[in-house]
Amino acid sequence: MPLFAGSYDGASFFELLRYDFPHLLPFQHLHNVPQLAASERRLMEAVPFATTVLALRCADGVVMAGDRQATEGFEVSSRRIEKVYKADDYSVIAMAGAAGPCLEMIKLFQVEMEHYHKIEGETLALDGKANKLAQMVKQNLPAAFQGLIVIPIFVGYDLRLQQGRIFKYDVTGGRYEELQFYATGSGGKEARSTLKKFFKVAMSREAALALALEALVDAADVDVGTSGPDLIRGIYPVVKMVTCHGVMDVSDDEIRPLSERLIAALQG
Amino acid sequence: MAVPFYVSPDQIMQDKAEYARKGIAKGRSIVAVEYADGLLLMAENPSASLNKISEIYDRIAFAGVGKYSEFENLRKAGIRYADLKGYAYSRQDVTTKSLANAYSETIGTIFTRDPKPLEVEILVVEVGETPAQNEMYHVSFDGTITDRQQFAVIGGQADRIRTYLQEHYQTDLPLAEALALSRRSLLAGYERPPAEESALEVGLLERGRVGRRFYRMTQAEAARAMAATNNGS
């Protein structure tokens, strides 16, 4: 049949690829590259890595932010990479790890959400989305053992519970809900300690944005893989927010003054 | 061994076509109408959950009449086709022309090869960046594909509705008026107007939206919009 030759007949795009078009999966081709596995360090130097991303809950929902640097060993491979993406109308996904597989998995996840919606006529529940993502991360495990780690953070607004929710993952596809905040990537630990210190329950949007930026600036301060706001080139972290009204981009115009204030504070 | 009777291909095709036509004639019609800001699809559908109109991709929508299970399978296959193509290449590369051709080939092959033809007729429509770039394809039960402009009609009462639209269609109608026109055209399909109006299913492809342009109008929204035009005129 010219229209569709596959055998899969469900609502999941990811499963459709697994059954009928495995060559289009992001990770399948990474499973058989033993020569690269010989040295994880060499792989880390050969492949760009996306670094710090974070999320925190606030009064209206969740704020998600990521710096803009991709790092290849000790080199900056990109200053403008984006790691935070809208997954669908009510959820946002961000990833740290090997940039190629990360971006491919984000794309696959976006199509998965949309595909399910179109086939079934309904959107998945937030838990359903989070679980689907866990299965995708699990598929990447063989590649993760070779150093091509992919670690997402997934946040969304749960329309049923009327609140924002944060999910973190491990390389085995383990899915854990965080109630306040989370950060991952090479600067994740540093960002988490800032978040931990200043996080308050039900913060305003402004306070949450400022804290997200501060955590990124602190991460960039210590971690060479993470960049802070680049005032010279005008490159700012990507920040998105999800509330009961859906996903919103936080514009550079809003991020710029906050960044300038933070950097002025660093100058003492 | 028994030798099967010879039946001429002519006869086989005629029988199949008649069979398919009968199946389709049972279903209510669907209209697609170009209006000022996009394209609208309207069907009479008493069920709120078993849809006849659906989103396929960013600018592309689908409508089917006839046997539900058959056009539902075609709809899903179309979504898979579009999503796969968009994933493997890019979102701009998913075109209505290639999708409609794929539908045409698939339905045509089934018509010639399988003992039972599909009892369906479908519309595949796309809202373009400008009204001139709108596309509407009508694929019938034997795979025949036709390119339509301004409006397209499928289903059992198509001829009468088409005649009505030919007389009353105007270009660049605002949405509310296009909705009212579509509803009147569906009513024109009846020999005798029904005592009670059937529930309407309405899908829009709105040019002004970003990304996925399909919007499913609720019954109440459609009714409100049409009530506004009645008061105005």
At A206, the amino acid letter reads: E
CB-based contact B125:B39 (threshold 8 Å):
yes
pLDDT at A42: 66
pLDDT at A29: 57
The pLDDT confidence band at residue B139, using thresholds 50, 70 and 90, is very high
Number of residues that this document lists for chain B: 233
At B158, the amino acid letter reads: A
pLDDT at B232: 41
DSSP readout, B67-110? Answer: -HHHHHHHHHHHHHHHHHHHHHS-GGG--HHHHHHHHHHHHHHH
CA dist., res. B163 & res. B159, Å (int): 6
CA dist., res. A105 & res. B112, Å (int): 41
Extract the tokens encoding B196.
Answer: 């009670």
- Rounded to an integer, the average pLDDT of A138-143 is 88
> What are the chain B neighbours of A246 within 8 Å (beta carbons)?
none
Of B83, B88, B102, nearest to A115 by CB-CB distance is B83
The pLDDT confidence band at residue A32, using thresholds 50, 70 and 90, is low
pLDDT at B222: 92
Q: Which of B79, B91, B99, B101 to mutate to test the interface with A (most CBs of A within 10 A)?
A: B79
Is A51 a residue of the active site? yes
Provide the 3-class DSSP secondary structure of residue B176. Answer: helix
> What are the chain B neighbours of A4 within 8 Å (beta carbons)?
77, 80-81, 106
Distance (Å) from the C-alpha of residue B78 to the closest C-alpha of chain A?
A: 7
CB-based contact A182:A192 (threshold 8 Å):
yes
Residue (of A26, A70, A69) closest to A45 by Cα position: A70
Q: What is the dihedral of CA A97, A98, A102, A105, to 10 degrees?
A: -120
CB–CB of A119 and B86 under 8 A? no
Distances (CA, A) of B110 to B10, B64, B73, B185: 16, 17, 13, 32
pLDDT at B228: 81
Answer whether B210 touches A (CB < 8 Å). no
pLDDT at A193: 97
Quote the distance between the C-alpha of residue B62 and its chain's center: 6
CB-based contact B31:B176 (threshold 8 Å):
no
CB-based contact A238:A81 (threshold 8 Å):
no
pLDDT at B2: 77
Q: Where are the alpha helices (DSSP H) in A7-125?
A: 13-20, 34-37, 40-46, 99-120
CA dist., res. A189 & res. A215, Å (int): 10
Examine the predicted complex and report whether its ipTM is higher than 0.85: yes
Residue (of B164, B158, B194, B191) closest to B43 by Cα position: B158
pLDDT at A2: 59
pLDDT at B233: 42
pLDDT at A39: 55
The pLDDT confidence band at residue A28, using thresholds 50, 70 and 90, is low
CA dist., res. A195 & res. A241, Å (int): 17
- The secondary structure element, H or E, covering residue A240 is strand A238-243
Residue (of B172, B74, B88) closest to B124 by Cα position: B74
Of B56, B88, B106, nearest to A24 by CB-CB distance is B88
Rounded to 5 degrees, φ, ψ at B149 are -125, 155
What angle, 0 to 180 degrees and rounded to 10, lies between the N-to-C axes of helices B68-88 and B96-113?
Answer: 140
Which among A51, A71, A184, A194 is annotated as catalytic?
Answer: A51
Q: How many CB atoms lie within 10 A of CB B208?
A: 8
Order of strands across the sheet with B200-206?
B151-154, B30-35, B38-44, B200-206, B214-217
At B2, the amino acid letter reads: A
Residue (of B191, B172, B183) closest to B226 by Cα position: B183
Contacts of B50 (CB under 8 A, 6+ apart): B68
CA dist., res. A122 & res. B104, Å (int): 28
- Average pLDDT of chain A is 91
Distance (Å) from the C-alpha of residue A126 to the closest C-alpha of chain B?
A: 21
Residue (of B186, B177, B29, B212) closest to A89 by Cα position: B212
Residue position matching structure tokens 């800001």: B37
CB–CB of B87 and A24 under 8 A? yes
Q: Where are the alpha helices (DSSP H) in chain A?
A: 13-20, 34-37, 40-46, 99-120, 126-139, 141-145, 188-198, 205-222, 252-267
Distance (Å) from the C-alpha of residue B229 to the closest C-alpha of chain A?
A: 30
* Integer-rounded Cα radius of gyration of chain B: 18
Instruction: Answer whether residue A92 shows pLDDT above 60.
Output: yes
Contacts of A12 (CB under 8 A, 6+ apart): A112, A115, A116, A132
Extract the tokens encoding A217.
Answer: 């600036």
Which pTM does this prediction carry?
Answer: 0.93
Q: Where are the alpha helices (DSSP H) in chain B?
A: 9-25, 68-88, 96-113, 158-168, 175-188, 219-232
A181 beta partners: A56
Answer whether B47 touches A (CB < 8 Å). no
pLDDT digits (tens, 9 = 90+) for A187-231: 999 999 999 999 999 999 999 999 999 999 999 999 999 999 999
